[in-house]
Chains A and B, each alone.
Chain A
Amino acid sequence: MPGVLLGLGQGPVPDVAIGDAGQTGLITAGGRREVPFSTTTNQAVCVIDCSNYRWIAIQFTTFGGGTASFQASNDGVNWNVLQLGLTNAAIAGNTATATGMYAGPLHCRYFRVNVTGISGTIAGVAEFFAIAGVLANQTGNVGINGNVTIQAASPADGVTGNGTSAPSFAPLVFNGATWDRPRTPTTFKSASITASGNTAVWTPTSGKKFRLMRFIVMLTADAATSGGAEIDITFQDSTTDLGFKASCFVPAVAGTAFGNGFSSGWIDWGNGKLSALANNVLNGNLSAALTSGKCTIHAIGTEE
């Protein structure tokens, strides 16, 4: 199906972008394709249509002897040498004869590594990078990739989908350094705490991490503590403080009149705080034990 340029009518047939398992099917700036290779015989490996990629970094992790020649082609039949540079030395060449990382621009449609004279195993991984945005023929839609980044259907950390298809666009949120998928809470936990120290609020499923997104902390009006004191209510990721603290004065004698107690109100941590380690427990922590009443915590988020 021909591509249609927005506002410009029908354009040329775009190439079909191909993403690997860790990449999107819709190549955007910064997109990448990973091609592992391994051979024990003389043959061409890592043969791909690299139309969507303008830079290659190829790493040989095993080199059992022989010569690996970098080659380029526009028809996939006739091949010419391609110059790449050894990244840890000022050496440019079109062959590799030892382990190492070679990188350079791609200005061709097809790329391959032609192995000759092999006497062992030659193996490694090639990464192909899309510098300029390239979009596939998405049923007539052509995205613009300049200041606008269009994220492909399946972001890096994956939309498992419902067996049909992933959403057309997955919005991302900036965390100050990288981009994350926005979450919506799916796990809802509650716990009542009276003891000093940590009490488990959220024990994730084995192998998972909790992501704390929102919570509310409440202290009943009949709360009391020995001698009366200011009690700190905090959260801990196993035993590491998560940075929230509510301080409440709790009297020595439990109140008997109906009152409002204390409520932090719902506190929204946006896209949430991800636990440092899988299987860590989200603990609620009291700096002193309650002799009456209780501290109730509702915590919601996701398990990942």
Chain B
Amino acid sequence: MTTMPTIKEITDLGDDRIRVTVLRDDGSEVSGEGWLSAILNHYDPESYGPDGHLRPDAAPRRMTPDEVTDYLLSLVASPQAQILSVDDLTGIPKEP
């Protein structure tokens, strides 16, 4: 069973770049980089037309806290990845 990873640290690297460090529930850390402007210059899904382009009247907004969390976690490759053992993969229950 996995739990939500914890955002440990967000670092402003300058030049619009940010780095997020995530603490996984196995105790390991993983980092990823993204854009500050992705948070400040966000568009709702409804802002995009059927052609995939922004609608002319679309206006950006700042992400909500939940959206920020989702975005930061998306920057980290497999934030919920767990260290597995062979037993985990075989699914064969261990003998008591």
Contact = CB atoms under 8 A, between A and B. Distances in A.
Chain B contact residues (Cβ within 8 angstroms of A): what range? Answer: 20 to 34
Contacts of B35: 207, 209, 277-278
B77 A21 contact: no
Given A207-B74, A279-B41, A279-B60, A21 B52 contact: no
Nearest to B8: A36
A75 interface: no
Interface residues of A, number: 18
Given A36-B9, A203-B54, A207-B35, A21 B29 contact: yes
B38 interface: yes
B31 interface: yes
A131 B45 CA distance: 48
Nearest to A206: B43
A207 B38 contact: yes
A297 to B, nearest CB: 13
Given A203-B52, A203-B54, A207-B71, A279 B42 contact: yes
B5 interface: no
A187 to B, nearest CB: 12
Contacts of B74: 207
Given A21-B30, A200-B54, A207-B74, A278 B19 contact: no
A30 interface: no
Contacts of A278: 16, 34-35, 37-38, 41
Contacts of A22: 19, 31
B25 interface: no
Nearest to A275: B37
A157 B38 CA distance: 17
Interface in B12-71: 16-17, 19, 21, 29-31, 33-35, 37-38, 40-43, 45, 48, 51-54, 60, 71
A61 to B, nearest CB: 12
Nearest to A20: B31
Interface in A150-166: 157-158, 160
A160 B77 CA distance: 9
7 contacts: A21-B30, A158-B33, A203-B53, A207-B34, A209-B35, A278-B34, A280-B41
Interface of B: 9, 16-17, 19, 21, 29-31, 33-35, 37-38, 40-43, 45, 48, 51-54, 60, 71, 74, 77
Q: Ordered nearest first, which 8 A-B pairs have the shortest CB separation? A: A278-B38, A200-B53, A21-B31, A277-B37, A278-B35, A207-B38, A203-B53, A278-B37
Interface of A: 21-22, 36, 157-158, 160, 200, 203, 206-209, 276-281
